[in-house]
Structure 1
Amino acid sequence: MATALYRLGRLAFRRRRLVLAAWLAAIAAVVSCVFAFGGADKLDDAFTIPGSQSQQALDRMQHDFPAAAGTSAQIVFTAPAGHKVTDPVGQAAIRSALAEAAHAPQVAKVIDPFTAGTVSPDRTTAVAQVQYQVKNNQLASDALDKLTSAADGAERAGLDVKVGGAAYGTTGAKPGGEDAIGVAVAVVVLALTFGSLLTAGMPLLSAAFGVAVGLGGILALTGAATISSTALTLALMIALAVGIDYALFIVTRHRSQLAQGMDPLESAARAVGTAGSAVAFAGLTVVIAMAGLSVVGIPFLTVMGLCAAAAVLAAVAVAVTLLPAVLGFAGHRLTPRTGSRTARRERAIAEAGDDRPANMGERWIRTATRRPLLTLLVVVAALGALAWPARSLQLALPDNSTAPAGSSQRVAYDEITKAFGPGFNGPLLVLADTGHSPDPAAATAKIASAIRTMPGVAAVAPAAANPATHTALIQVIPASAPSDQATKDLVTHIRDQAAPLQQGTGATIAVTGNTAVGIDVSAKLSAAMLPFAAVVVGLSLVLLLLVFRSLVVPFKAAAGFLLSVAATFGAVVGVFQWGHLGGLIGVDRTGPAASFLPIIVMAVLFGLAMDYEVFLVSRMRESYVRTGRPLDAVRTGARHAARVVTAAAVIMFSVFAAFVSSDSMILKQIAFSLALGILIDAFVIRMTFVPAVLALAGRGAWWLPRWLARLLPQLDIEGERLHPAGPAPEESRASSASPVTATR
């Protein structure tokens, strides 16, 4: 691998104009495809779960009850103090507003609250149901705005009007300006790391190309594939973070070699062959982990994983081709000036003896390895305490209860909860097939009566029948909120009673609706979490076994990954479910975590954890192969890699943390989990736990049975096979010349 990448880096350096032109052409082609076939306006945030009872019933409803199968909105009318919505003036204003709402785009039906009985007992609140002909993702861009405008007349009459409901779903997470904050922090960190703005710009330029190609390609596919705004935002976060980090590792190696007097052409080629090999391997782990989300069998999650994987592939391709070309344009200008802080630091690293630490990173790891057993006990105890709350992790799809405070849908949700109870915000739909019933009407009435007596049911609305298709639709109002465990129990109980009801009526029933779909999605994701974790951990064992040819290193890496993930989930429970310190990041209401959060966090953290594992431990193994002294190898490897791993982790943390300020609860939870997970994994696991384990294991850390060593291929990510001889002096001078000189 190292030899092939060495040749690729050398070729890109020498043919830098051609490589740059090719990447610019790729960006132009991608942008053209975005305008021709895709665009952000075609993003689709619908959740589907093929094969589930709720999805099958929902698909049938599109034919039997098309109005009820579409999305819906709620208009909440609240009378001012001392008045009631049933007053003549209030009723007239509400009915006038509803008549106008019936003519809004794509509205199939408007249900009057006075005829449907959706007026609160104290007569201060009325809720009108607006049913659309289409699903959320098929709503026109101005449909909800027109509905809100239609209700303005009632507000002018003195009523308080809020519009909410399922049409204002909170499953989307469109990117905003948060990435600019992460980039700003990255600029500062890179400038401090390199001591040069020119050098600091290299990783940013590389990341910009990767993001442009990766996200442009995703947007170009929105016209042909169902891609959500959350998938796009996740791809943006990961592409930006890994794009900067991957370039950082290569540029750091390149500049260190320049400081030691190596020619720019040879240095760039060797940087791509060594650090670039680690980048390619680390990127592969992220790609495999993200693409592995497709095994869960939920299209929404599959798309998220594939989009993120594509963005990472673009970042790796840019790092090993465009970056060495850009280094060629820079030539000798990236060499640290004699007497500069960077030059002194590189000289200190090169001249530091075995007993003299060269930098803060090495001093930290020397401390961690001085008493390795004590270090391990402290780390495991601390992370175990942080992970303990993870036992209480609850999962659900987000609803309007987690919408931004003060938004129309959030206020509408709270008003409905106050006036009618929380279950009114998430009704269940029971689809009854009465085709084999001797008396369909009696069968429907018996089913509705049986459901009405079940525990956890607040109300059952009159059934709507379709004689042509022999089906009936029964709306069930739970006594609990959509995301509560009691609502999940009610759905399970209704489904358990399907067989007894069929025996008594001849009709079959299925529970569906947005709430039931969300419950089915959460159940499937919860069931897939442990198998997915097993696949991820098993994958890490195999990959690290191939890279480091050691038994201790893979098992230690897997154990560290599990510790960091468990601690992250424990923190998620503490902040988002229990409310600890939630106000600091804008969490004003506690509730379950997004149902797909654990699997996404495991996939992303796995890939990023392997990044740091490879970059740090590969330098340690390189030192061990050269010296044969295990403890000194751990400390010397830290001398060369700790600073850049620290910078990479800080940048990655900053990129993710910037998205914590998002109004989307989904994006807030994902960003918080990834930012905290990066901190724990980089500084507690890779910079503390890992060196302590290697120091405790001694020479055994690098042991591999001979029979297994013969079976495993030699990947050589440290570049051991690269020949020491560089190119001829004349070729080096010509290839590393500045652009002006080279064109003369």
Structure 2
Amino acid sequence: MAELLHRLGTFAAQRAWTVILAWIVILGIAVGGFLVGFKGLSSSFDVPGTASGDVLDELEASLPDFSGASGTVVFHSEDGAPLTEAQRSDISALAESAKDLPDVADVIDPFDAQQQLADQQQQIVDGRQQIEDGRAQAEAGQQQLDAARDRIAEGQAQLDAAGAQLAAVEMPEEMRAPQLAALEQQQQQLDAGNAELDAQQEQLDAGIAELDANQEKLEQGAELASYAEGIGVVSADGATALVNVSFTEPRLDLSQETKDAVVEHFESTPIDGVQTAISTDISQGVPEILGVGEAVGVVIAAIVLIVVLGSILAAAFPIVTALVGVGIGAMATLAFSGVTQMASVTPILGVMLGLAVGIDYSLFILYRHRKQMLQGAGVVESIGLANGTAGNAVVFAGATVIVALLALNITGIPFLGLMGTAGAVSVAVAVLIAISLTPALLGLAGTRLLSGKARARAALAADREPGAAPSEGRSVKPMTNLRAIITAVVATVVLLVIAIPSMSMRLGLPDGGSEAEGSTAYEAYTLTNEAFGEGANGPLLITADLPEGLDDDGVLDAQLTVARELASMDDITAVAPVAVSDDHRLTAFQVVPAEGPNSVSTENLVRDLRELPPIDGDIALGVAGQAAINIDISEGLQEVLPLYLVVVVGLSFLIMVMVFRSLLVPLIATGGFVLSLFATYGAVTAVFQWGWLADWLGVHNPGPILSFLPVILVGILFGLAMDYQLFLATGMREAYAHGAPAKLAVAQGFRAGRTVVIAAAIIMVSVFGGFIASESVMIKSMGFGLALGVLLDAIVVRMLLVPAVMHLVGRGAWWLPKWLDRIIPNVDVEGSALERRHPVHH
């Protein structure tokens, strides 16, 4: 590899314009691909096979109107007074015309909905009055029946008395017969009267039974309505109204164009005296990839480069090559957005990495070349050697980062795998540019790369006899054992203390409250929160599977049973049935939790709902809704983190064993990384979840940590940590291989690599830190985590902890079993063999 890179570097230096033109063509192809293939990005994230995904599939099959995405548009009177009739009319007109927008299934006019609710309440009042009137009528009828029965009873008594009297008197039969006939006729009339009264009683009883049934139904409806009282679309003070927009497409398939059309529709027609804000489900767009913060980061990187390299021309090369690499990587990635759904943070990760590693990798080669020129080496010869030595280390360092990023695909989470692949592409491009375009630019620059003073030093060095130049590191002394112990203990304790908050880290996805202050999504979240309560920003959709064969009354009974169960739970403020499938097998409820979608109570509520046994033994519940989806995604990511950590660390451990021909050095490097990783998790938790230093960093609403951030940090920080380990430990190994005692070799290798590693770390921190200025909390937290992670790992672990531990371990650091030494290939990452074959000629 080293020999191949030496030839490539020499060729690039001698045929500079050929290489430069080739990269310009590649950049042109990438731009062309972007112009043809870019189809927009998604602001949604998906984890397949989640519980909420299964519920949405069930809804799509049985209640398709409720399986699509939805969002709200909030209207609020600017003076806080109730919305006027004219303003209400304008809002209703906007809601009605929005129904014609693409992919919009329905738009609910809040005032119509409020009127329907009022009508339903009035129907309950009227129904109760009607039942009360009916009962009064029934009571009057019963009284009339009872009076008639009394009269018949009196007639019967009289008739019985007359009969008894007739029986007591002796008289001829011919005289008794007519009287008996008259009595019998009267008895028949009384019996007929009784029969009629019985019929009327039966009719009255049927009427009362119907009243009872109607009252039971009415009270069931009233009870259901009472559970829904916490759900509103017009605030109690009349100053705020919510327009609900539902879409035909599920959240993950909803295009950015559709969302933009809804935003444009409601924002293009302002209503006098009314503030319009649109919830994050609709208004969340693709965050700005490059802004002022990133520019500042690049400027700081340029200053560091000028200080380290001593000339503006030399400092310009790593930035130019990094920008070219970012352009190619980002354009090439975005060109495939039409083929596969791509999350909005995918290109941002590529840009972050492309800038950071692009500058660093170019710097490593350039620094080596400059050092050799100062020792009197010729330009082309030095470029070839720098590319074969430092370039070889760059290739292996880049390979470690690429392995870590590509391993994101093993998580089984599509958007995360795609992010890793896009990042890996950007790093691969950065490596290729570093080992080809950098030598070409160095070849064009020639000796102009050095300042005037440096050229004079180089000329003096060239005139010296070979070997006359003082070798670096002769005066270096190893640290004392006491200093090594104190350094190792203090560094470990510091990292462990910073890691403490990571024990309480919660994962989630940003909601409207995390959006930039002043943004429409933040305003919508805040206004909804103030007018309708926190839970209105994260309603849950609960499904209930009903038994077979239920009629309308059976469905109502089942709905009431479920609603009672839900309403009895803590942290639920309102429950409303919203739909029943045609086959009466599925019913859906909207449930408003007590707190917002990212609160601990809502997270616990979703878990409690899923753990409920079937209600009445046969009604199983399912939970969906944005809050539930976010929880599922976060849990899915949390589950894959340990597996991912094991795979990444395992693969990279094998690479390091091959590079360093040691077992202990990779173990020390990996242990140090785990410490710095958890310290980074701790700091991120303290700032973004606990709210420490939140005002300084622009975190106005602390909440859960971005659910995929821990996984991303593992992939990127491990790769970058191994970069610095490679550049420091290869120097130590080289010194040890050349005969230096183990402890002295640690000091010599550290002295040789510290300047370039500190410079590279400062550049990385500057570039990543620039993203902290982003308004998007996703990008802000990624920038902070990466910047701090690099700072802790490069300075505390690589510059303090690792050298101290390696000093204490001594010769044991380079021990490798003989059988393993025979098996693994000798990659000679430091290029010692190459230097022997191509010694520097003065």
Normalization by structure 2: what TM-score?
Answer: 0.80
- The residue aligned with 2:4 is 4
Q: Match for 2:388 among 273, 286, 298?
A: 273
The corresponding residue for 1:385 is 497
What SS class does the counterpart of residue 45 from structure 2 fall into?
coil
Q: What is the match of residue 511 of structure 1?
A: 623
Which sections of structure 2, spanning at least 5 residues, go unmatched? 118-231
Distance in 2 separating the partners of 1:269 and 1:200: 20
Is 1:662 aligned to 2:774, yes or no?
yes
Partners of 2:724 and 2:798 within 8 A in 1: yes
Between stretches 105-114 and 440-449, larger displacement belongs to 440-449
For 1:98 and 1:345, how far apart are their aligned partners in 2?
80
**How far apart are 1:195 and its partner, in Å?**
0.9
Q: Which residue of 2 is the match for residue 738 of structure 1?
A: none
Deviates more, 1:461-470 or 1:546-555: 461-470
For residues 162-209 of structure 1, the C-alpha deviation after alignment (integer angstroms, 9 at most, x for no partner) is 332521347856444543222212211111111111211221222122
CA distance in 2, matches of 1:132, 1:349: 78
1:404 aligns with 2:516: yes
Report whether the alignment pairs 1:479 with 2:587: no
Select the residue among 670, 676, 682 that pairs with 1:564. 676
Specify the alignment match of 1:735 in structure 2.
Answer: none
Q: 1:706 to 1:352 in 2, by over 3 A?
A: same
2 CA distance for matches of 1:394 and 1:178? 27
Give the counterpart of 1:161 among 276, 281, 291: 276
Q: Deviations over 1:565-609 (max 9, x none)?
A: 111111111111121111111111111110111110111100000
Q: CA RMSD in A?
A: 2.8
Distance 1:644 1:437, change over 3 A: farther
> What is aligned with 1:152?
270
Alignment partners' CA distance in 2, 1:435 and 1:175: 55
Whole-angstrom distance in 1 between the partners of 2:762 and 2:325: 20
Q: CA deviation at 1:675?
A: 0.5
Residue in 2 that maps onto 1:70: 68
CA distance in structure 1 between the partners assigned to 2:456 and 2:14 by the alignment:
30
Distance 1:280 1:169 in 2: 39
Question: What CA deviation, in whole Å up to 9, does each residue of 1:473-511 have, x standing for no partner?
Answer: 2211111211112212221222222x5238334xx4422
Name which of structure 1's ranges 258-267 and 719-728 shifts more when overlaid on structure 2: 719-728
Q: Does 1:419 align with 2:416?
A: no
Partners of 2:461 and 2:688 lie apart in 1 by 44
Determine if the alignment matches structure 1 residue 351 to structure 2 residue 470.
Answer: yes
User: CA–CA distance in 1 between the matches of 2:480 and 2:238?
Assistant: 67
Q: Which amino acid aligns with 2:21?
A: A
In the superposition, relative to structure 1, how do residues 469 and 235 fare at CA in structure 2: closer, same or farther (>3 Å)?
Answer: farther
Which residue of structure 2 aligns with residue 61 of structure 1? Answer: 59
Separation of aligned partners in 2, 1:72 and 1:192: 54
Tell me, in whole angstroms, the C-alpha distance in 1 between the residues paired with 2:314 and 2:4. 25
Greater mean deviation of Cα atoms: 718-727 or 525-534: 718-727
Of structures 1 and 2, the larger Rg is shown by: 2
Give the TM-score, by structure 1 length: 0.90
Aligned counterparts of 1:712 and 1:699: Cα–Cα separation in 2: 20
Answer yes or no: is 1:296 the counterpart of 2:411.
yes
CA-to-partner distance for each residue in 1:511-549, whole Å, 9 max, x for gaps?
212221111011111122222222233233222111111
Aligned residues: 714
Deviations 1:329-355 (A, max 9, x none): 223333564556986999999626756
Q: Distance in 2 between matches of 1:139 and 1:435?
A: 41
Aligned equivalents of 1:502, 1:343: Cα separation in 2: 89
**Equivalent-residue separation in structure 1 for 2:702 and 2:259 (angstroms):** 31
What is the distance in 2 between the residues matched to 1:287 and 1:675? 19
Q: Do the aligned partners of residues 161 and 211 (structure 1) sit closer, same or farther apart at CA in structure 2, a change above 3 Å counting?
A: closer
Q: Aligned equivalents of 1:649 and 1:101: distance in 2?
A: 52
How is 1:63-212 mapped onto 2 (pairs within 5 angstroms)?
Answer: 63-79=61-77, 83-85=81-83, 88=85, 91-113=88-110, 114=114, 115=116, 117-134=232-249, 135=251, 136-140=254-258, 142-149=260-267, 152-153=270-271, 156=272, 158-169=273-284, 174-212=289-327
Seen in structure 2, the aligned counterparts of structure 1 residues 510 and 139 have a Cα distance that, compared at 3 Å, is farther
Structure 1: tracts of 5 or more residues without a match:
733-744
Q: Paired residue for 1:605?
A: 717
Aligned residue in 2 for 1:243? 358
For 1:663-702, list aligned pairs within 5 A: 663-702=775-814
Tell me what 1:741 maps to. Answer: none
Say which of 469, 484, 501 aligns to 2:615.
501
**Alpha-carbon distance between aligned partners in 1 of 2:363 and 2:417, rounded to the nearest angstrom:** 30
Deviation at 1:140, TM superposition (A): 2.9
Within-5 A mapping of 1:516-531: 516-531=628-643
Closer/same/farther in 2, CA of residues 235 and 705 from structure 1, 3 Å limit = same
Deviations 1:5-38 (A, max 9, x none): 2233233333333322322221111111111222
1:260 has 2:375 as partner: yes
Paired residue secondary structure (2:517): coil
- Residue 664 (structure 1) shift: 0.3
Contact 2:508-2:630 within 8 A present in 1 as well: yes
Q: 1:536 to 1:726 in 2, by over 3 A?
A: closer
DSSP-derived class of the 1:511 partner = strand
| CA distance in structure 2 between the aligned counterparts of 1:408 and 1:233, rounded to whole angstroms | 22
CA distance in 1, matches of 2:609, 2:345: 32
Q: 2:96 touches 2:109 (CA, 8 Å); kept in 1?
A: no
Q: Distance between the aligned counterparts of 2:590 and 2:747, measured in 1? A: 66
- Cα deviation, residue 309, structure 1: 0.7
Q: Partner of 2:50 in structure 1?
A: 52
- Asked if structure 2 preserves the Cα contact closer than 8 Å seen for 1:173 and 1:667, the reply is no
Distance 1:557 1:57 in 2: 45
Counterpart contact for 2:688–2:702, Cα < 8 Å: yes
CA deviation profile, 1:384-407 (whole Å, cap 9, x unmatched): 111111111111111101011122
SS at match of 2:277: strand
Q: 2:628 & 2:71 partners in 1: Cα distance? A: 17
SS across alignment from 2:827: coil
Residue 31 of structure 1: aligned partner? 31
Q: Deviations over 1:618-676 (max 9, x none)?
A: 11111111133122212222222111111111111110001101000010001001111
Quick check: 1:170–1:399 contact (8 Å CA) kept in 2?
no
Aligned residue number for residue 460 of structure 1: 575
Sort the Cα spacing of 1:82 and 1:210 in 2 relative to 1 into closer, same or farther, 3 A: closer
Aligned equivalent of 2:147: none
Query: Which residue number in structure 2 is paired with residue 742 of structure 1?
Result: none
**Cα distance between partner residues in 2 of 1:344 and 1:18:** 30
Give the Cα separation in 1 of the matches to 2:716 and 2:79.
Answer: 51
Rounded Cα–Cα distance in structure 2 between residues aligned with 1:421 and 1:700: 63
> How far apart are 1:96 and its partner, in Å?
3.8
Mapped to 2, the partners of 1:670 and 1:728 lie a distance apart of 43
In structure 2, C-alpha distance between the alignment counterparts of 1:349 and 1:586, rounded to whole Å: 56
1:239-278 residue CA offsets vs partner (Å, 9 max, x unmatched): 1100010000001111111111222222111111111111
Q: Describe the shift of the 1:97–1:720 C-alpha distance in structure 2 as closer, same or farther (beyond 3 A).
A: same
Contact 1:98 1:150 in 2 (8 A): no
Deviates more, 1:133-142 or 1:247-256: 133-142
In structure 2, relative to structure 1, the CA distance for the partners of 1:612 and 1:369 (3 Å cut) is: farther
Question: Compared with structure 1, are the counterparts of its residues 159 and 70 closer, same or farther at alpha carbon in structure 2 (3 Å cutoff)?
Answer: same
Distance 1:431 1:150, change over 3 A: farther
CA distance in 1, matches of 2:396, 2:314: 24
